[in-house]
Amino acid sequence: MDSVPQSTQMMALGVLLVLSGLFSMAETAMMACNRFRLKAAARAGSRGAQRALDLLAQTDKLLGVILLFNNLINAAAATLTGVLAIDLFGEGELALGLGTIVVTFLILVFSEITPKVIGAGYANSLAPVVAFVLAPLLRLFYPVVWTVNLFVSALLKITRLQPTRQEENQTLSADELRALMTESGHFIPAAHRRILINLFELEDVTVEDVMTPRNQIEAIDLEQPLEAIQEQIATAHHGRVPVFEGDLDRVLGVLPQRRVVSALSAGELDKDEIRGLLTRPYFVPSATPLYSQLQFFQENRQRMALVVNEYGEVEGLLTLEDIIEEIVGKFTTGQPGQVDALNWTDGSVIVDGGRSLRELNAKLGLSLPLEGPKTLNGLLLEHLQDIPESGLSVRIGQVAMEILHTEDRMVRSVRIFQPQAQPE
């Protein structure tokens, strides 16, 4: 080494540091890249992305070839720095100590920290590029890498620290997928993001959460006079109407509106003809998960179901449109005159007592409890253990409310006051 000029030695040291930095950058880029984005690029025909995926499928060998060259280069750089220190300052402990400090600083800055920051910041762009270099190196030095990994595998087996299989590491749970959708930012439009998140939440929602309550079901009682029944059919807001006799728990069937239009217009519709036009009612338990019910609708070719409790009593009505609205959001008001908008006005909002607690929480940012009753009226009755009078004020959690109108043993309208932000 004494015959080699110091300028050449310094140039060689610089080359070694750059090469070490390139391998550090490659390691970080390969480990930090988005594998799902690589898969999408590979399906689109990117050869670099496919090579990167092939390398990531054998992480132990990928790390083996990178660290093999990285450590060889760093060792060579340390040796060369020691030689330079002796040439400049002579032999002695001071020269060796100074050389150690210098080479440590150079490796940290130029071979480790800076390249790794660049690799992490541009991982998705760099991974397909560096794969073209790492793949041939791995094939060329495979025997050396295999030998080193043999000792590594033995050590891991002795210490019982066997890593999880690569396929399991790449599998995302439902919560991880939900978080991925939430944090997708501008890559997915907000409306599409809400739909995807709502799909994940279908398993946590039951038909009882979104059904039309029993007291709001539009149904026909055959014990009414024929004129009243005909008028109700003519003014019905829905295409399918349940028909019962005396009590809603005695459902006879479902009347498709289009079947009775011609008979009604001809004035020939009587109760016996109505019975003959009925289709078989479809019942579902109230605790059925909404996603399962969507599948049941598809398998049974149904669009409407009557929701029953454990005693067989009708609790409400669910339609296919209710499930679709739960996924994509409200797109219909159901009945003319029904107001769906929920917006704070001067720090409060007036809502119907039959409003769903889930809907109020979602649209107003509230935290009303969902474990018990499903409607605001039910929550107030359970909380007060009595039928309240108009003008009564109550606070449930952080939400203050004023009962505006009570009728027929139900809370009809409530003013909800906007909760104040809690100081941190």
Chain centroid, CA 102 distance in Å: 49
Give the CATH architecture of domain 205-328: Roll (3.10)
What fold, for 348-417? 3.30.465
Domain boundaries, the chain: 6-169, 178-204, 205-328, 348-417
Measured from the Cβ of residue 200, the count of other Cβ atoms closer than 10 Å reads: 15
86 vs 93: CA distance, rounded Å = 10
Q: Helices 290-300 and 320-328: crossing angle, nearest 10°? A: 130
pLDDT for 331: 63
Q: What is the pLDDT along the chain (424 residues), one digit of tens a residue?
A: 445 676 787 788 888 888 888 888 998 999 888 888 888 888 888 898 999 998 888 888 888 888 888 888 888 888 887 777 777 666 666 767 777 787 788 888 888 899 999 999 999 889 999 999 999 999 998 898 888 888 888 888 888 776 665 544 556 666 667 677 766 666 677 777 777 777 777 777 888 888 888 888 899 999 998 888 888 887 888 888 999 998 999 999 998 877 777 666 666 677 888 888 888 999 999 888 888 898 889 888 888 999 998 888 999 999 998 888 888 877 655 554 444 557 788 888 999 888 888 888 878 888 888 887 888 888 998 888 888 888 899 999 889 999 998 988 888 899 999 887 654 4
Residue among 203, 245, 250, 210 nearest 224 (CA): 245
pLDDT for 318: 93
Q: Where are the alpha helices (DSSP H) in 202-288?
A: 207-210, 226-234, 257-265, 271-277
Burial class (CB in 10 A: 0-12, 13-18, 19+), 20: buried
Q: Where are the alpha helices (DSSP H) in 239-304?
A: 257-265, 271-277, 290-300
pTM: 0.59
Residue among 332, 371, 378, 327 nearest 353 (CA): 378
